[in-house]
Each structure stands twice: as C-alpha cells, then as structure tokens.
Structure 1
Amino acid sequence: MASNRLACRDCHHIVEPDEDVCPHCGSNTLTEDWAGYVVITHPETSEIAEKMEVEEPGEYALKVR
C-alpha cells in the first residue's frame, strides 16, 4: 500500500493518486486523510464487508476523515 493513495469519502474505496473520481462509486470526494486498510475478496461471506456495507471486492480504507 502506497501512502500517497487516496480514499473515497463516500465508499472508502482506495484509488490511485492520479485519479480524480472514484471508479467504484463515481464520487469526486477523494482524500489522503485515511487510516487502516482492508482487502475484501468475497464480500458476500465477509462480516467486515457487511459492517462496512461493501458489496464489491476491492481495497478499502477503514477510517476516512
């Protein structure tokens, strides 16, 4: 995980620093101010995905400010 990656404030999806829009939800509210990192591979069977309301596999920030 590169420290300069961004997190979407809306869906917590991790995106590359050169992106202006979250490819996951389409939001443009991206931030460098995030903490924690989780990779969800099978959201349909993941308790963490359920708590985070994640329905798609991917990389997510646990806390976004």
Structure 2
Amino acid sequence: MASDRLACRECHAVAEPDQDTCPICGSTSLTEDWAGYVIVAHPDESEIAVEMEVTQPGKYALKVR
C-alpha cells in the first residue's frame, strides 16, 4: 500500500498524507505504520465492516500499529 497515506489509530480510516485529521472520526492520531486495505461501500451489508465495527463507507486499514 502507498506508505505515504496515513491510517487513523482510532477507527482505521485511511487518510491522505496532507490531512491532519481522520476523515471519518476526526481524530488527530494518524500513523504511517499500517498494513492491509479494504474499501467499504455498504457497511450495513458487509461482514468485514461488522467485524471492524465500521459504520460509514470509506477506505480502511486492516491492521494499524
């Protein structure tokens, strides 16, 4: 995955490198240390979204360190 992107430590949403806050939850706890990538289009119909506790469509990191 493009290591220049950041992932939120709170909700795992993926943010662009020029963002200071998470696009989903607004947290400022972003990191470059993440792995895996999933795009959730319909969280109410997605088993992975339920497992990750994702309620909004978006791009998410599977593992955030």
**Shorter-chain TM-score above 0.5:** yes
Is the strand fraction higher in 1 or 2? 1
Q: Secondary structure at the match of 2:62?
A: strand
Q: Mind listing any 5+ residue stretches in structure 1 that lack a counterpart? A: none
Match of 1:55 in 2: 55
The alpha carbon displacement at 1:2 in A equals 2.6
Q: TM-score, normalised by structure 2?
A: 0.95
Percent identity of paired positions between Structure 1 and Structure 2: 69
Alignment of 1:13-52 (within 5 A): 13-52=13-52
TM-score (norm 1): 0.95
Unaligned runs of 5+ in 2: none
CA-to-partner distance for each residue in 1:22-64, whole Å, 9 max, x for gaps? 1210100000000000001110010000000000011000000
3-state SS of paired residue (1:59): strand
CA RMSD of aligned residues (A): 0.9
Q: Distance in 2 between matches of 1:22 and 1:54?
A: 14
Amino acid at match of 1:35: A
Off by >6 Å, runs of 4+ in structure 1: none
Query: How many corresponding residue pairs?
Result: 65
User: What letter corresponds to residue 8 of structure 1 in structure 2?
Assistant: C
